[in-house]
């Protein structure tokens, strides 16, 4: 089967009617940023379905504006931690944390394909996106950059960026549980038991706090500044403002959030490292790790010559894509979850940023490397950046979406930058 057709068939197979699973088995529910990428993928052949994907995602928005990272539409015993562990009292049940807010950026991509046809769909979605962005600004940006309360919120779940914040968490008292992820994929590629206990300890804290976000930010066991979400949100603010203006809305509130967030970027610049860095907000300590989150700076037009040099160094040490962690760091592992492998979805976000900052050659190199990975092995969740070994789940929604929108096409493809 031709790869375009195969990618479309993956989206259709993972489509549960209004929402799309990341992959069968390993991830049997709706995930936040996966869904936004799925919408972008659908937009290449079914615009109506693309908008409905964003609608279902935003339909589970909490009263305070938060959009959860998982929506548990139907029970599935094959996944842990399920709705009973999160205990959020939402209907349908959801997790109690959020995920990278790429939805406004994806909505802009979809809308731009056919602005007049998308007008009403966008108008219905816009107030929800606005209220989610307000939640990030008011609840999570009080320290300046975006604060996350759980490593899973970053979308780069297990990356070395979070090691300093995880180190002191006591996971020894968590209720007994049985992991399900290691039954679906090679346990060598997944987080360790000690990490998992700590992840669950943070969830238990949130549940015991009734998922009161202010309380979790004030007293929770984990609070770190995430460069990745900071750049994604900054870009998404700018995209949302463009959408708002097109709808005739007053976007001064959004512009204010973007200005404030941009002025906080020096707080996540680590001079000693020579790059943007995650930071423990409880004590100010830097992670001293150059991860792929730092290179998302290009997406928010926040690159600089030092970052360019780091990008070149890191990229030249591997053969395929931007690695999720620094190949020269001791913690680097090319197959372990977010500790080295390359993810097509992160590659596309970095490529959009590179292209928008005039580095078309680098953007095209990244596309070609991502294309090669998919051509060689198919639509895997992620890949070893040294030898292209496919890792994690197969027939993955966001990899298929990225093929249709970007990786499988020459530069004049569907991506568009901030005007």
Which sequence positions are flagged as catalytic?
157, 381
Strands 147-148 and 224-225: antiparallel
Complex with ligand GLC: residue 31 or 132, whichever CB lies closer: 31
Burial of 113-134, coded b for 16+ CB within 10 Å and e otherwise, reads eeeeebeebbeebbebbbbbbe
Q: Given CA atoms 118, 120, 124, 130 in this order, what sign does their dihedral have?
A: positive
Positions in the binding site for ligand GLC (CB under 6 A): 22, 27, 31, 33-34, 155, 157
CA atoms of 348 and 345, how far apart (whole Å): 5
Complex with ligand GLC: residue 39 or 258, whichever CB lies closer: 39
Sequence-distant (6+) residues with CB within 8 A of 17 are none
Complex with ligand GLC: residue 22 or 171, whichever CB lies closer: 22
Complex with ligand GLC: residue 88 or 98, whichever CB lies closer: 98
CB of 60 to ligand GLC, least distance (A): 15
CB of 394 to ligand GLC, least distance (A): 12
Q: Closest residue to ligand GLC, Cβ-based?
A: 22
CA atoms of 414 and 416, how far apart (whole Å): 6
CB of 335 to ligand GLC, least distance (A): 14
CB of 408 to ligand GLC, least distance (A): 20
Complex with ligand GLC: residue 357 or 397, whichever CB lies closer: 397
CB of 97 to ligand GLC, least distance (A): 11
How would you class 349 by CB atoms within 10 Å of its CB: exposed for 0-12, middle for 13-18, buried for 19 or more? buried
CA atoms of 311 and 213, how far apart (whole Å): 35
CB atoms within 10 A of CB 329: 17
Tokens standing for residue 352: 């959009």
Give the angle 366-367-373 at the CA atoms, nearest 5°: 95
CB of 27 to ligand GLC, least distance (A): 5
CB 337 within 8 A of CB 191: yes
The rounded Cα 92 to chain-centroid distance in angstroms is 22
Complex with ligand GLC: residue 105 or 270, whichever CB lies closer: 105
CA-closest candidate to residue 398, choices 19, 47, 23: 23
């Amino acid at each position: 089967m031709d790869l375009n057709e195969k990618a479309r068939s993956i989206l259709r197979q993972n489509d549960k009617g209004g929402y799309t699973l990341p992959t069968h088995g390993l991830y049997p529910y709706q995930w936040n940023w996966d869904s936004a990428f799925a919408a972008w993928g659908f937009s290449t052949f079914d615009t109506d379905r693309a908008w409905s994907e964003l609608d279902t995602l935003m339909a589970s928005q909490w009263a305070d504006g938060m959009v959860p990272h998982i929506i548990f539409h139907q029970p599935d015993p094959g996944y842990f931690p399920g709705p009973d562990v999160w205990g959020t009292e939402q209907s349908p049940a959801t997790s109690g944390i959020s995920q990278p807010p790429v939805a406004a950026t994806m909505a802009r991509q979809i809308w731009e394909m056919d602005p007049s046809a998308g007008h009403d769909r966008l108008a219905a979605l816009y107030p929800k996106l606005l209220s989610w962005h307000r939640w990030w600004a008011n609840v999570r940006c009080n320290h300046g950059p975006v604060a996350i309360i759980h490593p899973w919120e970053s979308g780069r779940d297990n990356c070395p960026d979070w090691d300093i914040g995880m180190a002191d968490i006591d996971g020894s008292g968590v209720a007994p549980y049985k992991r399900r992820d290691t039954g679906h994929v090679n346990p060598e590629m997944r987080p360790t038991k000690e990490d998992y206990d700590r992840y669950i300890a943070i969830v238990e804290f949130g549940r015991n706090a009734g998922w009161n976000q202010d309380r979790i930010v004030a007293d929770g066991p984990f609070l770190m500044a995430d460069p990745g979400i900071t750049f994604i949100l900054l870009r998404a603010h700018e995209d949302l403002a463009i959408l708002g203006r097109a709808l005739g809305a007053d976007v001064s509130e959004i512009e204010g959030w973007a200005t404030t967030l941009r002025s906080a970027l020096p707080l996540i610049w680590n001079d000693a490292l020579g790059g943007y860095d995650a930071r423990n907000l409880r004590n100010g300590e830097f992670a001293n790790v150059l991860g792929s989150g730092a290179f998302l700076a290009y997406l928010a037009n926040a690159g600089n010559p030092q970052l360019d040099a780091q990008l070149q160094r890191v990229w030249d040490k591997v053969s395929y894509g931007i690695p999720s962690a620094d190949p020269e760091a001791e913690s680097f592992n090319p197959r372990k979850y977010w500790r080295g492998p390359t993810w097509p979805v992160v590659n596309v976000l970095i490529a959009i940023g590179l292209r928008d900052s005039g580095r078309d050659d680098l953007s095209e190199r990244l596309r070609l490397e991502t294309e090669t990975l998919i051509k060689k092995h198919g639509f895997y969740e992620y890949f070893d950046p040294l030898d292209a070994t496919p890792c994690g789940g197969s027939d993955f929604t966001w990899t298929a979406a990225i093929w249709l929108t970007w990786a499988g096409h020459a530069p004049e493809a569907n991506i568009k930058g901030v005007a």
